[in-house]
Chains A and B, each alone.
Chain A
Amino acid sequence: MNSFYRSFLGGRSGTVGLVVLSLLLLVVLPLSIDAFRLNMMGKYLSLAFVAIALVMCWGYGGIMSLGQGLFWGLGGYCMAAFLKLEAAANIAKEAGTDQIQALTTVGIPDFMDWNQITELPWFWYPFKSFPLTLALMIVIPTVIAYIVGVAMFKRRVGGVYFAIITQALCWAMEILFVTRQGWTGGINGITDLRTLLGWDIRTPDAQMTIYFLTCIGIIGCILFGRWLLNTKFGRLLLAVRDMEDRVRFSGYDVANIKTMVFCIAAAMSSIGGAFFVLNVGFMSPKLVTIEPSIYMVIFCAVGGRMSLIGAVYGTLIVSFGRTFFSEEFPALWYFLMGSVFILVTMVFPEGLAGAVNRFGPPLWNKIARLWRKKPPAAPAEEVKP
């Protein structure tokens, strides 16, 4: 029990942080904001998966991936493919073999019909089965990450070079997805997704359920990350980041450690992509290209690159800020965002979590002291970790 407490929950401060986050996500937000904003939160949270993955990969492992959108997108596309085939099957069920009523070739996604493809391509077949889709959602990004990781890390490509190469890969994938219109839906992506295993995902109730599922996924990822970073593997990871050569000279295979964490980050990002599709009901290549990938790194940097929980806050704050300011003050937004990037990297390299860790405990002590002195004083403010 004690070791569980320490390794999963991260001791006292870790537990407090996790409880505050869970309360915020599962209780405060659903009670305080309307369904539309809550769905938006679900959308942001699906990006937080990537931010958590980047904390492990970049914060602890020192591997900056600028192409994390690639893996996020693959997960999203896997889920979207399954939902699209189900939508196509539903249309086929309603319309029978009547092509005019179905408005499309029966049984295949509508965008294929628009692109003069009359038969389902072979690689779409696995997505007819839900378990297989879930498996592929994890396997495809992991395998790609493994290939990239082995090829790069065995050759000791790292740091800046790795970042630029992942960026190029991400770009290449976007181009492929945009140009292979008949296979992927082109620039529009895969749209008009309605049901998951017969369950309408567009109703407010369903959206609420999906939001809670997303939150549970996030908390699960944080717990998993805590556990992993507390194992021997986590310590090695940190050692690789700080002094790669010494780890190598101690007899460890640095490339394997790096590849492993890169694969885990890829799989985690992919899960986030799948949740995104469930929350939003479409998938588009514009969401997986270079700029969104850089934003993902920014979420992580703002939240604190060494804090799994901070990454979630970072994602929520930056995404919410982006939506709010680009609606209200579109011109100001870019200046503000740009300054945030610069300020965070220069003044707060540890991000929000670093600031809270530095200023939080003294503030907490002060409040606690006030509390003890005169009991009927103002109630203590909650301090976010």
Chain B
Amino acid sequence: MTAKITLILLLAGLGYSWEEIKGIAIMQGFAGLNLFAIFLLMALGLSVIFGQMKVINMAHGEFMTMGAYTTVLLSWLCETHAPGLLTWYFPVAMVAAFFVAGAVGFLTEWAIIRHLYKRPLDTLLATWGLSMIFQEAFRQIAGARETSATMPEWLMGSFQPFEGVDIPINGVFLLSACLVLTGLVVANLYYTRTGLRVRATVLNRDMAGAVGINTTMTDRMTFALGCGIAGVAGCAFTTVGSISPSAGGLYIVDTFMVVVFGGAGSIVGTILAAFGIAQAQSVLEFFLSGVLAKVFVLGAVVVILMIRPQGLIASKIRK
């Protein structure tokens, strides 16, 4: 926030009028919010998988890509077979993306992850291999070139709340999708029986098993849930950009930084970290070039993690 105020004062000093400053501040803030939405969407699923289960899923980006391709496929099907449905296919695509990525995640847990719970670092290698396989599969099936889904009309264009401010609708959609999804995840984890079982298993696996919770199945569903969230995230991304087979890999380090920075196992921490990193990066990008801003943010996160290794919000888990 201080950074934002400094920025405003600086711009005032440079001779911008008050109206212009307001416009820049809102738009720059909105760019930060957009980045926040992207980070949070990616990190939510990972926060569930890494935070709750301590599994390092390097293929997380590919589950996201999977969701995005599901959306592209559906939009293509609608376009060629039923143009009339094009307006309202998108909500269906979101649900489909969730179930496709979730189902693949379910299988992945059964085939690979469950054998590696005792060796968390090894999950990293195995899932990296998995991500290579997925990427190549996308390349073989969908082609190496970037593709994008046809957007329904109500998602295009922008609106002007007042003079000099231009807010793209797809950005607003991304942000609201992100907030709704976060709400659903939190609600699922803290206000349902399933969530209760997940949390119990994380806190004390043996005890959870002893009171009759099927921990194997809980793990599998948790992993599938995390992957499904990634799929929805991928679906939401198609509103703001195109998708390519290796797109998921670009975000994976960022996403891990967000989850680790926020404190593994804490959804609130993840939200705070995504907000902090995204805003810091977008403000710095205004002053520096984009890549240098990235270096500064990475450096800052590393330093903060040195001071506070447990992340912003420490979870109270007995080790």
Contact = CB atoms under 8 A, between A and B. Distances in A.
Contacts of A337: 129, 132
A171 B120 contact: no
A156 B253 contact: no
B253 A341 contact: no
A179 B307 CA distance: 28
B309 interface: yes
B298 interface: yes
B120 A159 contact: yes
A341 B305 contact: no
Contacts of B133: 334-335, 338-339
Interface stretch (B20-28, B99-107, B147-155, B287-295): B287-295
Which 3 A-B pairs rank lowest in CB-CB distance, beginning with the nearest? A341-B129, A334-B136, A338-B133
Interface in B107-142: 112, 115-116, 119-126, 128-133, 135-137, 139-140
Contacts of B289: 179
A349 B122 contact: yes
B120 A342 contact: no
B260 interface: yes
A168 B119 contact: no
A88 interface: no
Contacts of A345: 116, 119, 122-123, 125-126, 129
Contacts of B131: 338
A171 B253 contact: yes
A346 B56 CA distance: 15
Interface size class of A (residues with CB under 8 A): 35 or more
A175 B295 contact: yes
B306 interface: yes
B74 interface: no
29 contacts: A64-B121, A155-B309, A157-B306, A157-B309, A160-B50, A160-B121, A163-B56, A164-B253, A164-B257, A165-B305, A169-B302, A171-B253, A171-B298, A172-B294, A172-B298, A175-B291, A331-B136, A331-B139, A337-B129, A338-B129, A338-B136, A339-B133, A340-B129, A341-B130, A341-B132, A342-B126, A342-B130, A345-B129, A349-B119
B256 A151 contact: no
A346 B309 contact: no
Interface stretch (A18-26, A254-262, A293-301, A372-380): A293-301
B299 interface: yes
B66 interface: no
Interface residues of B, number: 42
A172 B54 CA distance: 25
A229 B160 CA distance: 67
Interface of A: 64, 66, 151-152, 155-157, 159-161, 163-165, 167-169, 171-172, 175-176, 178-179, 290, 294, 297-298, 301, 331, 334-335, 337-342, 344-346, 349
B301 interface: yes
Contacts of A159: 120-121
A165 B302 contact: yes
A339 B129 contact: yes
A349 B125 CA distance: 11
Given A175-B291, A338-B133, A164 B121 contact: no
Contacts of A290: 253
Q: Is the interface of A mostly helix, strand, loop or mixed?
A: helix
Contacts of A168: 253, 257, 298, 301-302
Interface string B278-298: 000000000001011011001
A294 B256 CA distance: 15
A59 to B, nearest CB: 11
A163 B121 contact: yes
A152 B305 CA distance: 9
A168 B116 CA distance: 24
A294 B309 CA distance: 23
A301 B299 CA distance: 29
Given A334-B133, A335-B136, A337-B132, A346 B112 contact: yes
Contacts of B298: 168-169, 171-172
A285 B243 CA distance: 26
A161 B116 contact: no
- Interface centre among A64, A172, A338, A339, by most B CB within 10 Å? A338
A346 B116 contact: yes
Contacts of B257: 164, 168
A344 B298 CA distance: 32
A151 to B, nearest CB: 5
B120 A164 contact: no
A181 B264 CA distance: 37
- Interface centre among B135, B294, B306, by most A CB within 10 Å? B306
A301 B306 contact: no
Nearest to A173: B295
B130 A178 contact: no
A274 B259 CA distance: 36
B122 A342 contact: no
Nearest to A168: B298
A159 B310 CA distance: 13
Contact of B295 (A151, A161, A176, A344): A176
Nearest to A170: B253
